[in-house]
């Protein structure tokens, strides 16, 4: 039973690492890297050791700080509680932290003040890990604040650049609006229920909504939505992902916005158990669809590699919110699967962008090109990530998107509302636009002509390639062996979100949930019908083999290219063909989809105007959206 201490130890280890870095790591890079490696590997090992009892054994771990266990049915201490849903997200967090820590060693080698970097990095990791493992809403607020602070600090890490400071300021203002809303919601909940424990709140709040708790729900929902960066709270995310060092951009898209998604799922499924409200389902699906669409169209308009990836990150979070908002077990499974896949492929893509930034010196797509000749390994990793995010079989993005399409259709059939079928249509269109956008990036950065000034670009160092290889392999494996992922990770997590009896009983004592009238619902296992990745893999190999055969059986002597006599000294008598001597004619990122952009000129004009870059405008969106959420909740959730 010693593993009940593991969650707390993992969080403490990361915070202790931050502290020790301040004390001992001020001058010596080796000490800093050593501490960070020990803490990130240690946290990974501690959390991975919980897979066996929690995921396979179906156990829920509860841990009362200072052994302040509940007295007479009232939780008076701060409790940590690890159920399958929390552990699922905790695994994403520790994996991201470990890979990012490996990547940072080489990537950050030329920066100064690295002691601050490592302090903030471990604070961020500890904050997010604490957020997904805690069982106390106020503790959750504290962890959100630690997370936001360190994220803002890391965004502004390269503060000699104007973009970093500006993005950090916007992130801080919008983020603090979100945190304030969470805190207000927590305070109202405490006033109503006199407890801060999630399990006890869940049993008290089941079906007893008063106007005060609805207000609390709306405020906490808004606050966590700000942390998940769904539209219209997304604007600082695009800025800060692009401005932060790339190892941190990966952490942001891999776990910081997942923390917000986790908070929303925990809030709607477990604390309030409100997912049977059709108004809430509709609200989440609408928010999710808008997030998907705005994210991907804004990505099409970008010229900067990292900013484009940031908008895709927002768009993919839209998928997760939509799927979770369907309120069905199938939808939640798809959403969780997509959250996991997003961590893998978006992390991979950011790492590739970081490799390009470090080796080529820029992420401006109009200045890049032809890098596949100089950085072939990075190109392969990038292609795996691009195929995954665009949802091409047999990569993992396809499996999770397919589940989401299926879930939306099933929801339309089940509820009789035709609008859920359109969700599938929107999701497919967004997927196509994602593919288009990645064709543009691939063409602009990796294929085409190599500009002369990039001639001496080298392949990324091995220590940076290792995390990229690991993530590429995981992208392929989780796409092919989706059944294994579903059985050991997704199904337990979905079950934990929908059936909360075990969660409440473990924390508050046996029979507590039943006394409060909380019942379990049997859920059908998710079926990945109509699609078999092995067949797609075979098809993929057959097509490749056919192309290869065509290539090698073709005529090897292609004849000679007729050209003019060019060795004539003065060129006066040379045959004149046309134009000037071979100008570079690279198709840059902005040119590829000009027709589409022209057709949608009005839309792009409006949407780019809305992203005005002024922090008070973004705050206005946030406040207006929270007002809408409050009104919808009060109007329809009673």
Partner 1 sequence: MMIVNYVASVFLVVLGLYTIVTKKNIIKIVIGTGIVDYGINLFIVSIGFNDGGTAPIFKMSEILSGAYFVDPVPQALTLTSIVIGACVDAMALSLCIKLYKQYKTVNADEIRRLHG
Residues that bind partner 1 (CB under 8 A): 71, 138, 142, 145, 149, 152-153, 156, 159, 162-163, 165-170, 172-173, 176-177, 179-180, 183-184, 186-187, 190-191, 194, 196, 238-239, 242-243, 301, 608, 611-616, 619-620, 623
Tokens found for residue 213: 């708790």
- From CA 266, how far away is CA 278, in angstroms rounded? 18
Give Cα separations from 437 to 228, 231, 318, 432, 596 (angstroms): 23, 19, 17, 9, 11
What minimum distance in Å lies between the beta carbon of 357 and partner 1?
17
Nearer Cβ to partner 1 (167/226): 167
Nearer Cβ to partner 1 (187/514): 187
Nearer Cβ to partner 1 (299/321): 299
Nearer Cβ to partner 1 (235/489): 235
Nearer Cβ to partner 1 (365/497): 365
What minimum distance in Å lies between the beta carbon of 271 and partner 1?
17
| Helix, strand, coil percentages, rounded to 5, for the chain | 70, 0, 25
What minimum distance in Å lies between the beta carbon of 619 and partner 1?
5
Tokens found for residue 604: 């792009």
What minimum distance in Å lies between the beta carbon of 115 and partner 1?
18
Place of tokens 């925990």: 266
Residue of 147, 154, 174, 273 whose CA lies nearest to 229: 174
**Measured torsion, CA atoms of residues 167, 168, 174, 180, in degrees rounded to the nearest 10:** 170
Nearer Cβ to partner 1 (302/478): 302
Nearer Cβ to partner 1 (29/192): 192
By three-state DSSP, how is residue 304 classified?
strand
- From CA 174, how far away is CA 234, in angstroms rounded? 9
By three-state DSSP, how is residue 600 classified?
coil
Half-sphere exposure (Cβ direction) of 319: Cα atoms closer than 13 Å: 37
Place of tokens 């424990």: 197
What minimum distance in Å lies between the beta carbon of 249 and partner 1?
14
Which strand (E) or helix (H) includes residue 80? Answer: strand 79-82
Contact (CB, 8 A) for 597 and 604: yes
**Phi, psi for residue 538 in degrees, rounded to 5:** -60, -45
Nearer Cβ to partner 1 (195/501): 195
What minimum distance in Å lies between the beta carbon of 180 and partner 1?
5
Residue of 377, 114, 144, 367 whose CA lies nearest to 247: 114
Total Cβ atoms within 10 A of residue 450: 18
What minimum distance in Å lies between the beta carbon of 347 and partner 1?
23
What minimum distance in Å lies between the beta carbon of 500 and partner 1?
24
Nearer Cβ to partner 1 (168/497): 168
- From CA 219, how far away is CA 224, in angstroms rounded? 9
What minimum distance in Å lies between the beta carbon of 507 and partner 1?
18
End-to-end distance of the chain based on CA atoms, in angstroms?
44
What minimum distance in Å lies between the beta carbon of 172 and partner 1?
5
Nearer Cβ to partner 1 (173/514): 173
**Phi, psi for residue 366 in degrees, rounded to 5:** -75, -15
């Amino acid at each position: 039973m010693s593993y009940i201490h593991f969650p707390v130890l993992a969080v403490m280890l990361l915070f202790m690492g931050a502290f020790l870095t301040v004390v001992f790591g001020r001058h010596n890079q080796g000490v800093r890297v050593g501490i960070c490696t020990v803490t990130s590997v240690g946290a990974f090992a501690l959390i991975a050791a919980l897979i066996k009892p929690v995921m396979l054994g179906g156990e829920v771990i509860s841990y009362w700080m200072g052994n302040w266990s509940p007295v007479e049915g009232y939780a008076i201490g701060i409790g940590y509680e690890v159920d399958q849903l929390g552990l699922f997200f905790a695994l994403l967090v520790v994996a991201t932290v470990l890979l990012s820590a490996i990547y940072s060693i080489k990537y950050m080698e030329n920066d100064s003040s690295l002691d601050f970097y490592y302090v903030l990095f471990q604070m961020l990791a500890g904050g997010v890990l604490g957020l997904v493992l805690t069982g106390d809403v106020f503790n959750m607020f504290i962890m959100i604040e630690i997370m936001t602070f360190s994220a803002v600090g890391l965004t502004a890490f390269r503060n000699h650049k104007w973009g970093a400071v500006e993005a950090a300021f916007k992130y801080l203002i919008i983020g603090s609006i979100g945190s304030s809303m969470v805190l207000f919601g927590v305070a109202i909940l405490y006033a109503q229920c006199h407890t801060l424990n999630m399990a006890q709140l869940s049993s008290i709040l089941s079906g007893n909504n008063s106007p005060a708790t609805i207000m609390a729900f709306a405020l906490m929902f808004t606050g966590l939505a700000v942390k998940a960066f769904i539209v219209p709270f997304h604007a600082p995310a695009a800025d800060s992902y692009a401005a932060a060092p790339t190892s941190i951009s990966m952490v942001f898209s891999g776990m910081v916005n997942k923390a917000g998604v986790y908070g929303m799922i925990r809030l709607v499924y477990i604390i309030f158990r409100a997912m049977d409200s059709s108004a809430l389902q509709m609200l989440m699906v609408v928010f999710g669809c808008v997030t998907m669409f705005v994210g991907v169209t804004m990505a099409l308009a970008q010229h900067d590699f990292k900013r484009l990836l940031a908008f895709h990150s927002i768009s993919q979070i839209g998928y997760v919110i939509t799927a979770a908002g369907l309120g069905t077990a199938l939808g939640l499974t798809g959403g969780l699967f997509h959250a996991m896949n997003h961590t893998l492929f978006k992390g991979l893509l950011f790492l590739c962008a970081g490799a390009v930034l470090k080796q080529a010196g820029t992420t401006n797509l109009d200045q890049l090109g032809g890098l596949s000749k100089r950085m072939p390994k990075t190109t392969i990793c990038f292609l795996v990530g691009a195929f995954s995010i665009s949802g091409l079989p047999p990569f993992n993005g396809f499996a999770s998107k397919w589940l989401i399409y299926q879930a939306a259709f099933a929801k339309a059939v089940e509820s009789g509302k035709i609008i859920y079928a359109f969700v599938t249509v929107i999701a497919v269109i967004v997927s196509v636009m994602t593919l288009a956008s990645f064709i543009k990036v691939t063409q602009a950065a990796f294929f085409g002509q190599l500009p002369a000034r990039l001639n001496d670009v080298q392949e990324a160092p091995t220590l940076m390639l290792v995390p990229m290889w690991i993530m590429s392999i995981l992208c392929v494996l989780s796409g092919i062996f989706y059944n294994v992922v579903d059985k050991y990770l997704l199904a337990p997590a979905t079950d934990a979100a929908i059936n909360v009896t075990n969660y409440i009983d473990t924390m508050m004592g046996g029979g507590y949930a039943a006394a409060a009238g909380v019942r379990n619902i049997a859920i059908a296992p998710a079926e990945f019908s109509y699609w078999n990745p092995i067949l797609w893999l075979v098809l993929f190999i057959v097509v490749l083999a056919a192309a290869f055969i065509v290539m090698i059986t073709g005529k090897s002597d292609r004849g000679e290219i007729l050209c003019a006599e060019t060795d004539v000294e003065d060129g006066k008598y040379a045959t004149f063909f046309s134009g000037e001597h071979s100008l570079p004619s690279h198709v840059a990122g902005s040119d590829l989809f000009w027709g589409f952009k022209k057709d949608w000129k009005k839309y792009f004009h409006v949407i780019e105007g809305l992203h005005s870059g002024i922090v008070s405008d973004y705050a206005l969106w946030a406040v207006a959206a929270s007002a809408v959420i409050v009104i919808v909740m009060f109007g329809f959730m009673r």
